[in-house]
Amino acid sequence: MADDHHDVYQALLAATDAGTSAALATIIKTQGSIPRHAGSKMLVYADGSSVGTVGGGAMESKVIEVALAAIADGQSRIEQYTLNSIEAGDPGICGGSAQIFIEPLATTPTLLVIGGGHVGKALAELGKWMGFRVVLSDDRPDYANPGYVADLDQYLVCPPEEIFDHVGITPNTYVAAVTRGLPIDKNIIPALLETPAAYIGLIGSRRRWSLTVAALKENFGLTDVQLARVHAPIGLELEAETPKEIALSIMAEITMMRRGGTGAPMQTSPAALPKTDRQPTSQG
């Protein structure tokens, strides 16, 4: 069991560092005959693969199904499995029972910055300061390296269309495409829309986005519903001009999306008012 735990803990640490979606299943109580004892662990990834075991067989398959559900909704759960009678629907006939705690991994959100120009650099720096796992990508080596922006989690030097071969995009990934223009945008937006990214933002003017939309509809057959996922122009309206100001507007929008905010000024937002000020007083 010690070797199993070592493998699971290593995989758990690697998943955390990489921002990989996963869930940890731990046997917390057993009774009677059961393949594995309390404390046995298994790490399940979003693709259904796993490290470690909670006993194998049909029970383990059921645990993996529940773990995938936990990854999808972010909720922990405790499952009870009885292994007495296959005819009764039990996942085995060992004669015992197991209680298993399944918890999704609380991964650090990933900010994927596509384009390492002035705005991309400022955005990567701000994202790291805010506690995101930051991946910076550019097809120019001078714009994606530790000497250019220090202490990021990953640097990708490759054409934009090859990014997806090097980094996994999960429901905990926020993508900011601060690219150089339409030729790049029309090649990466369709691929981004195939991912479960929590946020997809594209820099540029309204006119640039309008031209991009026309090209995407004509060349890829994308619909308005699909394209509605893209936040373009990217960021909240702050009348931002400098790269740092634009980065601030982008991270403000990402934070709004993560936390379920509205972007309204706190001075006028109902959430900022005391409860006594949110409801009209009754007239007696």
Higher pLDDT, 280 or 265: 265
For residues 176 and 198, what is the distance between their CA atoms, to the nearest angstrom?
11
Work out the mean pLDDT of the chain and round it to a whole number: 87
Side chain identity, residue 182: L
* Band of residue 271 on the pLDDT scale cut at 50, 70, 90: low
Amino acid 94: pLDDT: 59
For residues 4 and 206, what is the distance between their CA atoms, to the nearest angstrom?
54
* Band of residue 51 on the pLDDT scale cut at 50, 70, 90: very high
Give me the mean pLDDT over the 244-265 stretch. 95
Q: What is the CATH number of domain 110-259?
A: 3.40.50.720
Most confident of 90-99, 163-172, 173-182: 173-182
118-129 vs 243-259: helix crossing angle, rounded to 10:
50
Domain boundaries, the chain: 2-104, 110-259
* Band of residue 161 on the pLDDT scale cut at 50, 70, 90: confident
Amino acid 282: pLDDT: 33
Amino acid 45: pLDDT: 93
Residue 110, classed as helix, strand or coil, is: strand
Is residue 268 over pLDDT 50? yes
Q: Cβ(70)–Cβ(46) under 8 Å?
A: no
Amino acid 71: pLDDT: 86
* Band of residue 24 on the pLDDT scale cut at 50, 70, 90: very high
Is residue 278 over pLDDT 60? no
Give me the mean pLDDT over the 242-261 stretch. 96
Is residue 146 over pLDDT 60? yes
State percent of the chain over pLDDT 70. 89
Paired tokens of 201: 């933002």
Amino acid 226: pLDDT: 96
pTM of the model: 0.73
